[in-house]
Amino acid sequence: MTYSYTQIGRYLRCPRSYRYHYLDGWREKETRAAMVFGRCFENALAALFRQEDCAAALFQEWGAFRDASFEYKKGESWDRLVHQGVHLLETFARDDRVHIQNPQTDLQAKRVRTLAGGNDFVAYIDAIGELDGKRCIIDWKTSSSRYSEEPEGLLSLDPQLICYSWITGISDVAFVVFVRKHAPEIQYLRASISDQQRQEFGRLLEATVGQIEAGQFASHSGIRFPQNGCISCCHLGLCLNNQQLINSNLTRKAGASDLDWLDELVD
């Protein structure tokens, strides 16, 4: 069995959601424009590092979805997203703070580590490169609002960055956040992950895989307003037995697939 951060993260958020997705085959419909745009934008970024025309790459990638019936947030449209994207790519190139030595191997960098029970853990890291001259793991984010920078050190608690630090052994990590707001902005957020955090993550991973293999899929429902995780969960319709919600948010494929680890690429 091959595990990924996406799988483990889903299990830790709610084991029942893990079962719906990986065992029962329920999949979220791709209706959110921002999510698909984020993927197109990351492909355009890769083109930039390969010294290709990144604006043309963005138009080509995002152009494939021009007539798709996506949900756009208030004030957003296909055109607005592409213009914000081009502006962000130009700003990023002008800032010139991130360098990737070998785009062929250091973008979407695959790392595999074997766990104690013989299972593999695979990660596809957005980039391994330099931010302001210092080697680090980089995760791209596109967002319509700024990431919180306070209190200091908050980023060092991000579980995905801890996971990538664990699998590579690299302490320095960063989020590069492309903020699609009225005046587009890029945040370069750095943190350092300690040895102790990496070891703790390794233990958490082994324990989590043990629970998955023991078939423990109890629901972790959120019950407190406003931080109720169920509200943003695509499986809410299944838990509430609400057919209308199921129809609007989910499709079903026949059982889980060996290719589920490819979901890692979605993050």
By the criterion CB under 6 A, which residues form the site for ligand SF4?
Answer: 14, 16-17, 219-221, 229-230, 233, 235-236, 239
Would you say the C-alpha torsion 52, 168, 88, 42 has a positive or negative sign? Answer: positive
In the bound state with ligand SF4, the residue whose beta carbon lies nearer, of 154 and 218, is: 218
CB of 87 to ligand SF4, least distance (A): 36
Q: Is-contact 159 153, C-beta < 8 A?
A: no
Q: What is the DSSP letter of 224?
A: S
Locus of tokens 């091959």: 2
CB of 22 to ligand SF4, least distance (A): 12
In the bound state with ligand SF4, the residue whose beta carbon lies nearer, of 18 and 178, is: 18
HSE (side-chain half, CA atoms, 13 Å) at 185:
10
- Phi first, then psi: what are they for 134, rounded to 5°? -115, 130
| CA–CA separation, 161 and 122 (whole Å) | 14
Cross-strand pairs, 134: 131
In the bound state with ligand SF4, the residue whose beta carbon lies nearer, of 105 and 228, is: 228
| CA–CA separation, 170 and 191 (whole Å) | 11
In the bound state with ligand SF4, the residue whose beta carbon lies nearer, of 101 and 242, is: 242
In the bound state with ligand SF4, the residue whose beta carbon lies nearer, of 171 and 219, is: 219
CB of 212 to ligand SF4, least distance (A): 15
In the bound state with ligand SF4, the residue whose beta carbon lies nearer, of 135 and 253, is: 253
CB of 40 to ligand SF4, least distance (A): 28
Q: Is-contact 236 230, C-beta < 8 A?
A: yes
CB of 16 to ligand SF4, least distance (A): 4
| CA–CA separation, 262 and 2 (whole Å) | 10
CB of 225 to ligand SF4, least distance (A): 14
Q: Is-contact 192 154, C-beta < 8 A?
A: no
H or E segment to which residue 95 belongs? helix 78-95
